[in-house]
């Protein structure tokens, strides 16, 4: 979508009332990953260059200044630690409780292990490599294990999904299912139970104590699309109904399910989203960790949409977002670019209810907190 100068100016004036905070940063190379390493820090990594930069950034201090914002001059992200990968970074996860990160690239079937660094060093160093028996180097998805010993769940295809111990490279678990389906995403529900979403929308639920998996294919009417998924779980409760799965298709179909009945979604709807890209590389749906029943969607264009699913019905009109962040497509660079930016990824702050970070194909990185008096917290 082409943005006129007048439209961008109008958005800027309007943003003074619609955002509590909005801070922008320009990366040298765009990132597909925004990974939290602490309450006020994130990791990003380039995916376009042959030699890609990995950075740990401290969020703008002004974001945390509260009522004293006018006294705080720090509006920019600050580089805390940095390093380089010899290949573009497709995925990056931080292992909770450590200074360890794991990445996958687009040109090799390996897991790269990194030390993010501490107070004594500003360098992010590669400390190890785990070679994988993968048939496809591109598209390896990773998720942190939730056990005492650091481990990573990974796989490009369903039949290749494994849980690997980081310190030793020992394979702790392998999915016992023959399948040619590719992995769109995977995530642990608790220390043992995990979910896999295939690119065709099929869900699989596994348990590291049992090699077999439960298989929940989609209805035929929605086949042929690319799907992404997001899992919302309440770590303080173990009831299946407290874990909600959202599946988003490349055409905007949205399915909501819980673990009690993954075969039959309790809500189905179609989002009114614009397609400015034919690729599905950036499709992203994510649940808000604090706001009840709210989720976010990006990857179709230069916008991040926030929805309150409390009002969704099983049938009817397309739900309207409670807020849409258009900052990336309204940026100065975007106005004079032949191809408008597409949001590559976004992530919710884990404790600030309406604070998100988002990145786009033009290298822009935003942190924003929107004003909304309607949402029931």
Structural domain spans, the chain: 1-28+220-368
Residue closest to 370 by CA, chosen among 311, 312, 308, 319: 308
Separation in Å, CA 377 to CA 158, 289, 329, 352, 371 = 37, 11, 29, 12, 13
Query: What pLDDT digit, counting tens, does each position of 107-157 carry?
Result: 778 999 999 998 889 999 999 999 987 656 568 999 999 988 999 999 999
Tokens 């309440």 sit on residue? 234
Interatomic CA distance for residues 58 and 293, integer angstroms: 29
Provide the CATH topology of domain 1-28+220-368.
Methylamine Dehydrogenase; Chain H (2.130.10)
Quote the pLDDT of residue 314: 61
Tokens 């179909």 sit on residue? 253
Interatomic CA distance for residues 97 and 37, integer angstroms: 9
DSSP single-letter state for residue 184: E
Query: What pLDDT digit, counting tens, does each position of 327-338 carry?
Result: 998 875 544 556
Average pLDDT over every residue of 10-26: 87
Per-residue pLDDT at 68 exceeds 60? no
pTM for the predicted model, two decimal places: 0.91
- Token pair for 142: 């990773």
Interatomic CA distance for residues 84 and 359, integer angstroms: 19
Interatomic CA distance for residues 302 and 280, integer angstroms: 14
Termini Cα distance of the chain: 34
Query: What pLDDT digit, counting tens, does each position of 300-342 carry?
Result: 999 999 999 988 866 667 899 999 999 998 875 544 556 889 9
Interatomic CA distance for residues 49 and 30, integer angstroms: 9
Alpha helices (H) along the chain = 5-18, 332-335
């Amino acid at each position: 979508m082409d943005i006129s100068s007048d439209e961008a100016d109008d958005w800027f004036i309007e943003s003074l009332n619609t955002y509590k905070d909005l801070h922008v940063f320009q990366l040298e190379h765009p990132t597909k990953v925004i990974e939290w390493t602490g309450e006020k820090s994130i990791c990003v990594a380039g995916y376009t260059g042959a030699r890609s930069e990995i950075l740990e950034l401290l969020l703008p201090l002004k974001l945390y200044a509260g009522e004293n914002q006018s006294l705080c001059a720090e509006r920019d992200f600050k580089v805390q630690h940095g390093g380089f990968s010899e290949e573009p970074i497709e995925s990056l996860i931080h292992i909770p409780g450590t200074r360890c990160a794991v990445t996958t690239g687009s040109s090799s079937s390996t897991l790269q292990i990194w030390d993010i660094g501490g107070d004594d060093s500003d360098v992010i160093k590669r400390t190890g490599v785990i070679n994988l028996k993968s048939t496809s180097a591109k598209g390896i998805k990773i998720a942190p294990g939730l056990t005492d010993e650091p481990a990573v769940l990974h796989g490009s295809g369903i039949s290749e999904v494994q849980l690997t111990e980081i310190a030793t490279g020992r394979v702790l678990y392998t999915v016992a299912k023959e399948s040619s389906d590719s992995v769109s995403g995977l995530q642990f529900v608790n220390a043992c139970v995990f979910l896999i979403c295939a690119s065709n929308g099929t869900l699989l639920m596994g348990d590291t104590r049992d090699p077999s998996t439960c298989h929940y294919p989609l209805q035929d009417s929605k086949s042929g699309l690319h799907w992404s998924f997001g899992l919302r779980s309440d770590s303080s409760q173990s009831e299946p109904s407290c874990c909600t799965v959202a599946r988003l298709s490349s055409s905007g179909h949205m399915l909501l399910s819980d673990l009690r009945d993954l075969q039959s979604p309790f809500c189905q709807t179609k989002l009114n989203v614009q397609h400015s890209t034919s690729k599905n590389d950036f499709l992203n749906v994510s649940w808000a960790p604090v706001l009840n029943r709210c989720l976010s969607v990006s990857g179709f264009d230069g916008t991040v949409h926030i929805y309150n699913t409390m009002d969704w019905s099983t049938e009817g009109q397309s739900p309207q977002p409670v807020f849409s962040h258009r900052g990336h497509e309204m940026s100065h660079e975007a106005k004079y670019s032949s191809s408008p930016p597409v949001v590559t990824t976004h992530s919710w702050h884990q404790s600030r209810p309406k604070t998100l970070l988002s990145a786009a194909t033009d290298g822009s990185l935003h942190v924003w907190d929107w004003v909304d008096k309607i949402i029931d917290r």
